[in-house]
């Protein structure tokens, strides 16, 4: 909804313009009101079902939705160019691109030109302080002395930041704190190093938990930064 005021010699005029919602149905005091031609009425169950189906058609995935409170300054555009644009296009092509950074980001789904703000994918991957916009974007490592979460905490560490910075640190955490290796006797002249957990399996489990299936663009970035 947009509201504008105009001043004329005859008096002031206030204009309120309401655009159709991209995510219908819209409820007011628990009811859905519709207008079809001259008819203005409360929507029936069938009409609400039609509006709900239309909502699904308009609904974008999480990564493609605009992060309304973010600005271009909240994105580390240097890392975006180096890690996301340069590998597939080549440095020469990126350096000679005359478009603005907003236009370049829009071309790969990282910027919403309609709302003039980065998308959630840009914030997650390249944001300077992504937790300002997505409070749950962090990884917490906790080691308990006992066998359940009510036991005393032995060690705790929290990782945060954009995924380009956080995922390599997560790998280091695996190697230093989670995966433990020790020599095991094999024969009189040979020992073999054995891990408490299979490194590849634990790494894949953690990365899948972080990346989330709805952020499909991150799979490509993961292959560039790992």
Q: What is the pLDDT of residues 24-65, one digit of tens each?
A: 777 777 788 887 778 888 888 788 778 777 665 566 778 888
How far is the C-alpha of 76 from the C-alpha of 70, rounded, in Å? 12
Q: Give per-residue pLDDT as tens, 155-167.
A: 888 888 998 888 8
Among the residues of the chain, which ranges form H helices? 45-58, 77-80, 86-89, 91-95, 101-107, 120-126, 163-173, 199-211, 218-225
- The pTM for the full model equals 0.62
What local confidence, expressed as pLDDT, does residue 111 receive?
A: 92
What's residue 64's pLDDT?
A: 83
Q: What pLDDT is attached to residue 221?
A: 39
> Rounded to an integer, what distance in angstroms lies between the CA atom of residue 212 and that of residue 15?
44
Which residue reads 């271009």 in tokens? Answer: 72
Q: How far, in Å, are 18, 41, 113 from residue 2 at the CA level? A: 7, 24, 18
pLDDT at 128: 93
Q: What is the pLDDT of residue 222?
A: 37
Pairing assessment for the beta strands 31-36 and 27-28 based on DSSP bridges: antiparallel
| Residues in the chain, pLDDT under 70 | 22-23, 54-59, 212-226
**Helices 163-173 and 199-211, axial angle in degrees (round to 10):** 150
So what's the pLDDT on residue 59?
Answer: 63
């Amino acid at each position: 909804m947009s509201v504008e005021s105009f001043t004329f010699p005859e008096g002031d005029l206030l204009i309120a313009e309401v655009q159709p919602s991209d995510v219908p149905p819209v409820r007011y005091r628990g009811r859905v009101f519709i207008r079809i031609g001259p008819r203005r009425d409360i929507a029936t169950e069938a009409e609400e079902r039609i509006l709900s189906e239309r909502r699904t058609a308009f609904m974008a995935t999480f990564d493609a939705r605009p992060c309304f409170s973010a600005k271009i300054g909240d994105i580390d555009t240097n890392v975006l160019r180096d890690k996301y644009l340069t590998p597939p296009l080549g440095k020469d092509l990126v350096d000679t691109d005359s478009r603005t950074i907003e236009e370049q980001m829009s071309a790969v789904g990282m910027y919403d030109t309609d709302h003039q703000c980065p998308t959630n994918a840009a914030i997650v991957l390249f944001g300077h302080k992504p937790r300002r916009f997505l409070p749950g974007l962090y990884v917490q490592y906790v080691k308990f002395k006992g066998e359940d979460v009510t036991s005393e905490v032995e060690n705790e560490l929290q990782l945060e930041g954009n995924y380009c910075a956080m995922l390599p640190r997560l790998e280091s955490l695996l190697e230093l704190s989670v995966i433990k290796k020790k020599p095991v006797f094999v024969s009189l002249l040979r020992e073999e190093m054995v891990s408490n957990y299979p490194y590849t399996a634990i790494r894949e489990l953690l990365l899948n938990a972080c990346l989330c299936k709805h952020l499909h663009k991150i799979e490509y970035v993961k292959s560039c930064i790992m």
